[in-house]
Every structure is written in structure tokens, then in C-alpha cells.
Amino acid sequence: MEVTPLTGALGAEIRGVDLRDASENLIADLRDALARFHVLAVRDQQLSPSELSQLAQQFGPFSGNPIHVPLEGQEDVVKMVREADDDGPNIGGAWHMDLAWFKAPPGLTMLYAGETPPVGGDTLFADLTDAFAALSPTMRGFLEGLTSIHSAQDVYATNAAVRAVSVQPDAKAVSKIETEHPLVCRHPATDEPYLLINSTIRCFKGMSEAESRAIVTFLLEHAVRPEFTCRLRWYDGTLGLWENSCLLHHAIDDYAGHRRVMYRTTVAGERPRAAAEAA
């Protein structure tokens, strides 16, 4: 397995492996690489949707997805197709964390590139561990005491506006979901503290929405500073894996006139653990 870092902050490119029949040792190596680099781009793969599903299950059970319509006969895989003439909004076209309003957000997102444009359509990632470490001790201490209230209020409308993927008939019901998470959490493998920051935060417990908004805005702008980020360029046959719960990602909409086909699944994660708790 050849591992080449993408940037000094996070991300690595993987070559020299075939994931269609991954051994336990290979899965263990990929887990170790994820804990170190957080984002992996495994090149030159040939995965069917069922093989993608089987690979994901080696990392853990499906997280569930009450929003998107899955492939027929493959409940854990969503096919996302953006046609060349689609001039509507791009799915994932803002900094976000997948399903942050779950009680246990997905620990791992897997995205497989079936058809990519000749250029464009890259994905940006931001490391929320580095973002927290770069804050002042005073700010870190203040944030460790905050509990975020995540709301799925706008999730349905945002996804329904996108043509690349269909939403489930009852998906609007998620709009009523609110979930509490510690703002500063511990990574389940490395025990490092990270910011669980996302645009779905409505407010912090015990604070007004106006008071909370200023903090959320600052943290979102801070978290995506260039020195905390990497950029993944997709090619046909690339499998992207990333630690969803400690990263933000952003799909760049710069490939007008070209078709893009991606397959996504998510692996269940642990309920976020407050950094203030004993290690």
C-alpha cells in the first residue's frame, strides 16, 4: 500500500490496493491511515454498488439515511447524478458535516467516483482537530463548556432543491429533529479534542440564537482556514473515505456542462463524547 500525503494538514492518496476483496489486515491499515490522515483517496478501484456496500460493512454498520432515496435493492448506497445541463444548486455545495443532527453522526463517509468531469468537481476538507488546537487557551476553555443544539429544520428543503439525488417521500419529517452534542469532543481513536461545528447548530444550550450565531459564524470561518484544509481531486475509480464526525467538507461547483456520477454510503459512528470527560 503506497501512501502519499495530500497536504501537511490532512489527507492522503492510496495506491497499490484492490478493495474488492479487502483482507482484515488491509482494513486495519486503512483504519490506521484514517486516524492519521482523516481523508483517504484510494485510486484505481473498480467497485460495483454492492461491492461498495460490502466494503463499508467491513468498517461497521450502515448509519441510516432518512433523506435520500437509495439504489433499488441496495438500501445503504445512494447514486448521485448531476447531468451536464443541470444548472441548479450543487449537492454539498457549502461547508458541512454529513448528518450532524443524528444522535450519533456517521463516523465514516465513503464516496465512489463512477464518472467524473475532465476537470473540476473537487472536494475540500477541513480538519476540526487542528482548528481547535489553533485557538487560544482561553477560547478553548470557554468552548469546552458549551453544548450545541443541532437542528434539521432546513435539511429537507436544501436536499429537495437538488436534482442530482431524490429525497424520500417522508423526508420532511426530519425537519422537527433537534439533537444536543458537546461542541468540543474527543476523537474515538486518537482521543484528541476537536470542534463538532456545523451550520446545523441552531444555538448553544442556555444561550439565545443571536448570541450563539456570532460564535458559530466565527468558528465556521476559523475552521476552514487554508492551513487546516486539503483538496481531493476525483478521477473515475477513486474511492474517497473520510472521518465525517471530525471534518467539514465542501463540494466545489465548477464543472458546468459535464456529467458527474458518484455513489455514497455512510458508516455508523459513536455518539460524540465531550472532551471535558475523563479520557
Q: How far apart are CA 146 and CA 80, in angstroms?
A: 36
| Ranges of H-type helices in the chain | 24-37, 49-59, 128-133, 137-143, 155-160, 209-223
Q: Across the chain, what does the average pLDDT equal?
A: 95
In this predicted structure, what is the pLDDT of residue 89?
Answer: 87
Q: What is the pLDDT of residue 21?
A: 86
Question: Percent of the chain scored above 90 by pLDDT?
Answer: 89
Kindly give the pairing relationship between strand 147-151 and strand 123-127: unpaired
Q: What is the pLDDT of residue 278?
A: 54
| Nearest residue to 35 (alpha-carbon basis) of 245, 218, 210, 273 | 245
Q: Would you state the pLDDT for residue 160?
A: 87
Residue 91 is predicted with a pLDDT of 86
Whether the predicted pLDDT of 63 surpasses 70:
yes
Q: In sequence order, what are the residues at sequence separation of 6 or more whose Cβ sits closer than 8 angstroms to the Cβ of residue 198?
A: 96, 97, 100, 150, 248
DSSP state of 96: B
Burial class (CB in 10 A: 0-12, 13-18, 19+), 184: buried
Under the banding of pLDDT at 50, 70 and 90, the label for residue 163 is confident
* pLDDT at residue 277 is higher than 90: no
Residue 279, pLDDT score: 52
Model's pTM, two decimal places? 0.96
**pLDDT (average), residues 73-81:** 95
> Domains in the chain and their CATH numbers?
2-267 (3.60.130.10)
- Pair 202, 82: CB distance under 8 Å: no
Close Cβ partners of 28 (under 8 Å, ≥ 6 residues apart): none
Q: What are the two backbone dihedrals, phi and then psi, of residue 111, each rounded to the nearest 5 degrees?
A: -130, 120
- Whole-number Å distance between alpha carbons of 72 and 78: 9
**Model confidence over 185-244: pLDDT tens digits?**
999 889 999 999 999 999 999 999 999 999 999 999 999 999 999 999 999 999 999 999
